[in-house]
Structure 1
């Protein structure tokens, strides 16, 4: 993959610089970027603003990365803008990458739709990511940072944090979600060195009687979040802190109320992340739920296992359906996920549209790694996702266990397609 900002800047200049006409909240980090953008988007929609949201990777098809008021842009509009961007790219011999093309399409769509605000998720890294084209975003947010994409971002946490901190801007405002101390200090140093006007270190919210509580403006604020997992306490806190900051500093957003915040958070949707899905339709009518999570790195795998242990006391055997991207540290991730009484069904995911560089790992590697961690573990390669679901269902009914599908968002997408679900 060829990173850098030269091509995207050249492409956008030929498209009349749509990014310079947008008010932007820019969200980077390792995990939690998507849910933070989803919370912010939902709150702003409740407050009556017209929003654009750009997330990556897409779930089912590239256009679901681009949303207006929370809804994927329609096929006709997407294709019309896509054709224009590709024509400019070809005629000017820019040779933009597929992600740069999609980013340009998103920014052109948001400009054409005259959105009040665009919420933009970083694709990979930060400093050299194609989304890092905004000279003065309203807010830069950095979510939890961990070791991921080391072959691109660097082999040390120091290098990775500095790359992700590349979205910070001089005289800009920044929100840092809760981090481990070493990461937090690097972020603070980066913010000071680049002369950010303001940076806020967020404290996670807390659980109180099944709801979430934050201390805001001198009093406690309780609300419900629909997304699962303790890590959402950090994500929702970062999102709300960002909303309150732009409400304070940008007069256009002064009308946002706590009711908008509460209702926006309550109605947030972020598919494929700690989501319970009914898979009965592919099991001959046999009612069965599966926990689905796109967990694809160490930080996410640890959070998934923690959620399972907290919710189910670590007693139930877990029957895992796992597919991973080639290049992942499979043994390390499986050591976080698996226990000796679990079982594993390894699968491959489908080709990913517009991402020819993404390849699934050989499922036999997952099987061998699982058996190497627990010698008594049942693990097999499945011919396809349907077979994996059927076999895992049979085993879960025999021992009252539960099923979990994880390892890659691209595998989650295959399940969505199989069940004919929408993104």
Structure 2
């Protein structure tokens, strides 16, 4: 066992629960570390249910195209824990020695006190961000917002709320308005907030909170807009209309995410013009989101001529976006669509699968080996059937692929395969296909 794995295992054992939302433990540890949260670079704080990572990746691409150094914090990782922390000086994931040093410092400062894994590893990230130079920190919320471990920045440049839908109800509330209130907990007095398209009840919650804090609100579809136009992307606000390339991330929802990123740069005072934005939009890197898998060890096991797609989306809102994209591919080039799906117990599988009714020929459900909170394939197949889909459980990803190979040979058609339902599964796929994120 290497040093990183060993210390992460020790940190995981410091609290009996994986999730226990509170800021008390985080504030205690940060104080013991010398309050590194007060020495962070100018910060953009990003919350929401879907699209947080894509907006963050788009912001990073445009800022780096403008010559800015960006620290980035995201979660979860796909293959290696280091992916959660990107340091601005190099633009690369944190190295093993740097990561170990920060984790060890947090372990020592915590002195065996009860603290969740996400809290203590977020503290390590904050320590690294404070000790290394950068122009901007892009800080993605882990879960919720109000009591999330990242919510220790008093004066961010801007806050961002991406689309909010039902997810993590056990921790955030059973109603959309309750979940919205938790996400809006990152808003700060006088700090601009950029808001994605939302249900009316969600928008009302955010607007009320912003009004109390005198925080300027920039709403998609009101203060700004972005849309596809003849193979290009248009962004419009009160300052004018910009003609831009389509974002390199695929799917109609990514045009919205790109518009969110541009509006955020403007709200934060970091907008430098169309040139950097154009360069950035063409070079966004965010694996596991409608990612085409062209070659690799796992792809080689798929039927000849198969299209293979990977997406880590895992809630009903993500299901709508992914199914919409797959429907567009079906119109472009009809192929039998097969889903391979693994999902955590905290997700709503029926809500996710429902969008694929009438589109997917069959769902193969598989286990996820990199987490202890995945649904079993038998149970997940039952949920897929409840959503109106044909489904069969398999003991491994390879067995599911072998079954699709057999079906393709019988049908004489090259299939379109979508591997989906969990970022943990996406990470396993990228590792098996020898495609670690960079």
**TM-score (structure 2 length as normaliser):** 0.88
- Post-superposition CA distance 1:301-333 (Å, at most 9, x none): 111111111221395321110001013332332
The answer to whether structure 1 residue 369 and structure 2 residue 383 are counterparts is yes
**What does 1:224-239 align with in structure 2 at a 5 Å threshold?**
224-239=246-261
Contact 2:47 2:160 in 1 (8 A): yes
**CA shift at 1:182, angstroms?**
2.4
Please point out which of 384, 398, 403 is paired with 1:391: 403
Following superposition, the deviation at residue 101 of structure 1 comes to 1.2
* 1:7 corresponds to 2:25: yes
Task: Measure, in 1, the Cα distance between the counterparts of 2:79 and 2:344.
Answer: 17
Partner in structure 1 of residue 244 of structure 2: 222
One of 228, 231, 234 as aligned partner of 1:207: 228
Contact 2:306 2:414 in 1 (8 A): no
- SS of 1:207's partner is strand
- Distance in 1 between the 2:244 and 2:301 partners? 42
Show CA shifts across 1:216-272 (max 9, x none).
Answer: 52233222311111111221111101112222xxxxx47x23211111121111110
Q: CA deviation at 1:421?
A: 1.0
Matched, 1:281 2:297: yes
Q: 1:71 to 1:6 in 2, by over 3 A?
A: same
Alignment equivalent of 2:414, drawn from 389, 400, 404? 400
Deviation at 1:371, TM superposition (A): 3.6
Secondary structure, counterpart of 1:335 in structure 2:
helix
Q: What displacement does 1:289 show?
A: 3.4
| Alpha-carbon contact 1:10-1:94 (below 8 Å) kept | no
Give CA deviations for 1:45-84 in whole Å, capped at 9, x if unaligned: 1111211000011111221100124421111111111111
**Deviation per CA, 1:147-171, whole angstroms, max 9, x where unpaired?**
1111110000110101100000112
Report the Cα distance in structure 2 between the residues aligned to 1:66 and 1:31, rounded to whole angstroms.
20
Pick the aligned partner of 1:347 from 354, 357, 366.
366
Q: In the aligned structure 2, how far is the partner of 1:287 from the partner of 1:401?
A: 8
**What SS does the corresponding residue of 2:252 show, helix, strand or coil?**
coil
Q: Which residue of 1 aligns with 2:10?
A: none
Report the counterpart of residue 355 of structure 1 in structure 2.
none
Q: Is the 8 A contact 2:315 2:351 kept in 1?
A: no
The verdict on how the C-alpha distance between 1:298 and 1:371 changes in structure 2, with shifts beyond 3 A counting, is closer
Q: Does the residue aligned with 2:56 lie in a helix, a strand or coil?
A: helix
Once superposed, what is the RMSD of the aligned Cα atoms? 2.0
Question: What's the TM-score once normalised by structure 1's chain length?
Answer: 0.91
Residues 345 and 375 in structure 2, CA contact (< 8 A), matched pair in contact too: yes
Distance 1:127 1:341 in 2: 38
Q: Does the C-alpha gap of structure 1 residues 372 and 180 become closer, same or farther in structure 2, counting only changes over 3 Å? A: closer
From 279, 285, 294, the equivalent of 1:263 is 279
Q: Quick one: distance in 2 between partners of 1:49 and 1:390?
A: 46
Q: Give the Cα–Cα distance (whole angstroms) in 2 for the partners of residues 16 and 370 of structure 1.
A: 50
